[in-house]
Structure 1
């Protein structure tokens, strides 16, 4: 039994070494974030098995392009832009925030082409 632990550690080390330098983790999006995206996507497009597959594909593609922290930042900006008042104006007027959203929009467009 003690041999399994070193073997698993060696396998994990080998997989980490095989990854390209600077590559983002394959699954750095938490399950609840993926599920939230899929539920919202299905609510918009249809509650069918086909859209479950398509929406799951879309969040997987977005995750391949955009690190989770960037996704969270862009989603926060988009949600704040939908609110009213003084605070939301700040999120609409800052140009550097638009770059984060543009990156998310590009990832979403790529996902739409590949999955829908």
Structure 2
């Protein structure tokens, strides 16, 4: 059985774990809704994706963690999952079948919710 080298991945996972634990607790004065709790794996995936798209710069770790926390504050996980799925399907090159992920009012509404949350991320997480 081949061994997978973990040395390069461990620092990234450690940083993501620290950011998630530092930002996971509800902020004072914020009305925290349990239905808005996102699975840890989804939060970690967002942070790692954010870091990857920004060259894995350590100074951006807090901003990336703030991003998923802000989205989680603004929209229930089910809505985030729907919007994320729609965006992935739109990028998947489904041809005519992809129209239902682009052209329906439901798809547009779900994606718009995520876009509003992302706009808030740009304001809060600078």
TM-score greater than 0.5 by the shorter chain = yes
* Segment drifting more, 44-53 vs 61-70: 44-53
Alpha-carbon distance between aligned partners in 2 of 1:42 and 1:87, rounded to the nearest angstrom: 32
- Segments of 5+ residues of structure 1 without an aligned counterpart are 1-18
Normalising by structure 2, we get a TM-score of: 0.69
For structure 2, the 5+ residue unaligned runs are 1-29
CA distance, structure 2, for counterparts of residue 69 and residue 96 of structure 1: 14
- What is the count of residue pairs matched by the alignment? 96
Q: Runs ≥4 in structure 1, deviation > 4 angstroms?
A: none
Q: Spell out the pairing of 1:84-95 with structure 2 (5 A cutoff).
A: 84=93, 85-95=95-105
Q: Secondary structure at the match of 2:34?
A: coil
Q: CA RMSD in A?
A: 1.9
Is 1:97 aligned to 2:78, yes or no? no
Deviation at 1:95, TM superposition (A): 1.7
Offset, 1:109? 0.8
Per the alignment, residue 13 of structure 2 pairs with none
1:28–1:67 contact (8 Å) kept in structure 2: yes
CA distance in 2, matches of 1:50, 1:59: 16
Aligned equivalent of 2:118, options 108, 111, 114: 108
Q: Distance in 2 between matches of 1:31 and 1:38?
A: 11
